[in-house]
């Protein structure tokens, strides 16, 4: 699947650095996504930081969602493909659809991408491949195996095993929580061999604090210009509330939504304006309670989920954030702005989610929302800069191969 067509390179695959040594030019990238915006935005954020956003191709590995497919989502993608092909061939012979199994299965062709990388290497240089999501692992690793001398493959998010299949793995530090004394105490001894990762990060692993994302200074400047007229009449401070949804390691429901409503009502006196957004994961009963309790207040605006999505405008123009603890992505984005962040529900998080919350708290980036705050208060901290730091690591590893990003 092609999303962005890069411009035709106008020079050959080699360039000289300022010291006169010859480097292979990396002028193009491929993003392999799994259809999940959260995962794909991590790849986009990395290539944006590398200056390759306008020269990338997009391929996907996405499974059908309907019918019987919902019961097969847990299968590895290679096994899913075989079952899908087998059942589809049988159903095609009888001109039937086996409860959705014949819906389109979209899987990037690793052989085709590897062939392209090899055949165009001399003319266009090496190909940077960035993938994220468990279903992309086999495709990305196959590309590297088939064209090892012509590609540099980055897997974003921990692939759980066989890290040597990739040139670089970029993953949050809390993915290694299992190896900490606290993490070991939470897993029975007999289960530890089945939980990954089992070893400390190796030489081809780069650890970030949070998740990569597609927010940078340029994105925020553009969003500020786009939304400034709509936000111009809002009283300050502008407080933005981002509400996610419960996860296995961060459970909450109606009880937390009621507590959140009470706390927001208690701090409204110090807010100029309060804007609330729900995510796709927010349970309807949670959204309904918050809407019912707060929508009648003149200071409060609740986004109805229809386009245009104000998320980027919120990041650019908010003075303070209130965010539920379940979303590492939302917290990572907000922490990159350097603005004050209050977290709701961190005490309900377990496992690596709890470790991530602890890290943000120790950095001074977040504070728990209690309902007693004066939202006019400001504090400062060193913003998360995971995208730029990860990009620097990619550049360093490319240089070891004799390759250099050419923007």
Indicate whether 88 belongs to any domain.
no
Indicate whether 378 belongs to any domain.
no
Indicate whether 407 belongs to any domain.
no
Question: In terms of domains, do 42 and 189 share one?
Answer: yes
Give me the pLDDT at residue 24, please: 86
Give me the pLDDT at residue 13, please: 41
CA 67/CA 286 separation, integer angstroms = 27
CB-based contacts of 349, cutoff 8 Å, min separation 6:
249, 250, 325, 326, 356, 357
Give me the pLDDT at residue 10, please: 34
CA 14/CA 25 separation, integer angstroms = 5
Question: In terms of domains, do 360 and 267 share one?
Answer: yes
Question: In terms of domains, do 266 and 352 share one?
Answer: yes
Q: Kindly report the CATH number assigned to the domain that includes residue 339.
A: 3.40.50.2000
Indicate whether 345 belongs to any domain.
yes
Per-residue pLDDT in tens (0 to 9) along the chain, 407 residues = 444 443 333 333 444 443 334 468 899 999 999 888 888 999 999 999 999 999 999 998 876 666 666 656 655 555 656 665 666 666 655 555 554 544 555 677 899 999 999 999 998 899 999 999 888 999 999 999 999 999 999 999 999 889 999 999 999 999 999 899 988 888 888 877 788 888 999 999 999 999 999 999 999 999 999 999 999 999 999 999 999 999 988 988 899 999 999 999 999 999 999 999 999 899 999 999 999 999 999 999 999 888 899 999 999 999 999 999 999 999 999 999 999 999 999 999 998 999 999 999 999 999 999 999 999 999 999 999 999 999 999 999 999 999 999 87
Question: In terms of domains, do 154 and 58 share one?
Answer: yes
Question: In terms of domains, do 144 and 264 share one?
Answer: no
Question: In terms of domains, do 236 and 343 share one?
Answer: yes
Question: In terms of domains, do 154 and 293 share one?
Answer: no
Indicate whether 228 belongs to any domain.
yes
Q: Kindly report the CATH number assigned to the domain that includes residue 161.
A: 3.40.50
Give me the pLDDT at residue 248, please: 87
Q: Record the pTM.
A: 0.87
Give the DSSP per-residue string, 219-244: HHHHHHHHHHHHHTTSPSSEEEEEE-
In the chain, the number of structural domains is 2
Indicate whether 309 belongs to any domain.
yes
CA 198/CA 160 separation, integer angstroms = 9
Question: In terms of domains, do 59 and 118 share one?
Answer: yes
Question: In terms of domains, do 109 and 204 share one?
Answer: yes
Give me the pLDDT at residue 23, please: 62
Question: In terms of domains, do 272 and 149 share one?
Answer: no
**Token pair recorded at residue 349:** 């998080």
Question: In terms of domains, do 270 and 336 share one?
Answer: yes
CA 371/CA 214 separation, integer angstroms = 31
Indicate whether 291 belongs to any domain.
yes
Question: In terms of domains, do 302 and 202 share one?
Answer: no
Q: What Cα–Cα distance (Å) separates residue 162 from each residue in 141, 233, 325, 342? A: 10, 54, 31, 38
Q: What Cα–Cα distance (Å) separates residue 152 from each residue in 5, 122, 395? A: 20, 15, 11
Backbone φ, ψ for residue 128 (5° rounding)? -90, 125
Backbone φ, ψ for residue 335 (5° rounding)? -70, -20
CA 363/CA 331 separation, integer angstroms = 13
What residue numbers bound the domain in which 351 lies?
217-368
Indicate whether 198 belongs to any domain.
yes
Closest of 104, 162, 111 to residue 137, by C-alpha: 162
Closest of 165, 97, 100, 102 to residue 131, by C-alpha: 165
341-344 vs 14-16, strand pairing mode: unpaired
């Amino acid at each position: 699947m092609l999303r962005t067509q890069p411009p035709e390179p106008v020079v050959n695959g080699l360039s000289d650095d300022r010291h006169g040594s010859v480097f292979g030019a990396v002028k193009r990238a491929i993003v392999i996504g799994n259809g999940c915006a959260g995962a794909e935005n991590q790849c986009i954020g990395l290539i944006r930081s590398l200056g390759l956003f306008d020269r990338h191709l997009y391929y996907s590995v996405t499974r059908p969602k309907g019918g019987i497919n919902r019961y097969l989502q847990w299968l590895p993608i290679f096994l899913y493909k075989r079952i899908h092909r087998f059942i589809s061939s049988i159903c095609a012979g009888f001109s039937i659809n086996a409860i959705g199994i014949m819906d389109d299965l979209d899987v990037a062709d690793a052989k085709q991408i590897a062939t392209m990388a090899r055949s165009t290497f001399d003319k266009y240089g090496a190909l940077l491949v960035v993938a994220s999501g468990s279903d992309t692992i086999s495709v990305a690793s196959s590309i590297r195996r088939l064209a090892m001398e012509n590609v540099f493959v980055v897997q974003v998010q921990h692939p759980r095993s066989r890290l040597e299949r990739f040139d670089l793995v970029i993953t949050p530090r809390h993915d290694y929580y299992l190896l900490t004394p606290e993490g070991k105490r939470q897993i029975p001894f007999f289960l530890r061999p089945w939980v990954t990762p089992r070893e400390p990060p190796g030489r081809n692993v780069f650890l970030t604090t949070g998740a990569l994302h597609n927010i940078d200074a340029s994105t925020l400047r553009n969003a500020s210009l786009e939304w400034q007229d709509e936000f111009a009449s809002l009283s300050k401070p502008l407080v933005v509330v981002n509400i996610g949804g419960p996860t296995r390691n961060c459970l909450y429901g109606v009880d937390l939504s009621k507590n959140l409503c009470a706390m927001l009502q208690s701090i409204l006196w110090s807010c100029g304006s309060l804007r609330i957004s729900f995510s796709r994961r927010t349970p309807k009963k949670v959204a309904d309670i918050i809407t019912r309790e707060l929508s009648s207040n003149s200071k409060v605006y609740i986004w109805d989920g229809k386009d245009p999505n104000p998320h980027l405008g919120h990041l650019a123009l908010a003075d303070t954030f209130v965010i539920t603890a379940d979303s590492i992505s939302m917290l990572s984005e907000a922490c990159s702005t350097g603005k004050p962040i209050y977290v709701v529900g961190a005490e309900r998080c377990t496992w690596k989610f709890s470790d991530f919350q602890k890290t943000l708290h120790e950095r001074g980036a977040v504070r728990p929302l209690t309902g007693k705050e004066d939202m006019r208060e400001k504090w400062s901290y060193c913003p998360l800069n995971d995208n730029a730091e990860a990009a620097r690591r990619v550049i360093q590893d490319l240089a070891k191969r004799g390759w250099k990003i050419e923007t």
